[in-house]
Amino acid sequence: MSHISIWGELSDVDHELSHVDVSGVRTRVLWAGAGPDLVLLHGTGGHLEAYARDIAGLARDFRVTVYDMVGHGWSDLPDKPYTTDVLSDHLIGVMDALGVEHAHLSGESLGGWVAAWTAAHHPDRVDRLVLNTPGNIANKPEVMAKVRDSTLAAVLDPSDEKVRPRVEFLFHHKEMVTDELVALRRAVYSRPGFEQAIRNTLVLQDPEVRKDFAWDPSWVGKITAPTLLLWTEHDPTGGLDEADLLLEWLPDARLHVIADAGHWPQWEKVDEFLAAHREFLLS
């Protein structure tokens, strides 16, 4: 397998990396391309480089925005719980700061949860919605414990030995986890104040906190945006039975299953990920 370099993926696409102020939160943002607005949202403990392999391809058809959610990546780390509503408000603030009135949203894992919450509570801001391995729709305690324990262990000891397994958890083809990707995650986890920030993120893996935001037809059914569910054959956070739940709850949804991939199909199966987005968002 040829070496994958984040900078190599971005080397031939015009893009801008900057910071915007979102209600006092210095927020790292990258954007590229022109066309309909498409905002990509990463997962728990993640950062915008989760989409490094997709930006150039999507920028041919869209104005693509990727950003570090509050408490993540190199955005600010205010000390408060990063519940789904807080993360959604931050997303709306990012859109406001960039002058984006409405956009397609595509979120992976926690990012899918935030994108769906935003579509339900701010329907005028969302055109179409892609939920990419949105993660543990059924609120399984064992999945919550796995995400919480593996993430916290890597932040408390951001060594290669602890961080690499946390990144490998996202992949079906673990040989695709590069030293660069692990080093990037280690740098994030080593930031001053990040231990408290990750605890503020992991409140969503606490069943008592989660119950107020858990996937449920009472709010999922309010989503009017046409929705594409992107599932995979080897997602460690939830199987196709959970995709079936969303298909029941969402008023307008369809399912696309990507074979031979885990929790990060945007990295493992780039061509299919891009084609699914183009077909759904441009139709």
Total domains present in the chain? 1
**pLDDT band with cut points at 50, 70 and 90 for residue 3:** confident
* Closest of 177, 250, 184 to residue 217, by C-alpha: 250
The pLDDT value recorded for residue 188 is: 97
Instruction: Judge whether 270 lies within some domain.
Output: yes
DSSP 191: S
The yes-or-no verdict on residue 45 having pLDDT over 90 is yes
pLDDT of residue 254: 98
* Cβ proximity of 219 and 251 under 8 Å: no
Average pLDDT of the residues of the chain: 96
> How much is the average pLDDT of 169-189?
96
pTM (two decimals): 0.97
Predicted confidence band of residue 103 (pLDDT cuts 50, 70, 90): very high
Q: How far apart are CA 186 and CA 239, in angstroms?
A: 29
Residue 30 resides in a domain: yes
Is residue 110 one of the residues assigned to a domain?
Answer: yes
Give the list of residues 6+ apart from residue 167 with CB closer than 8 angstroms, or none: 177, 181, 182, 185
pLDDT confidence of residue 4: 87
Task: Report yes or no on 187 lying in a domain.
Answer: yes
CB 73 within 8 A of CB 26: no
Nearest to 116 by CA among 267, 274, 248, 246: 246
Asked if residue 147 belongs to a domain, the reply is: yes
Is residue 1 situated within a structural domain?
Answer: no
Residue 193 tokens read as 């104040």
> For the segment 190-233, what is each residue's pLDDT rounded down to a tens digit?
999 999 999 999 999 999 999 999 999 999 999 999 999 999 99
pLDDT score for 111: 98
**Rounded to an integer, what distance in angstroms lies between the CA atom of residue 215 and that of residue 245?**
10
Domain that holds residue 128: 6-282
Q: What is the CATH number of the domain that holds 174?
A: 3.40.50.1820
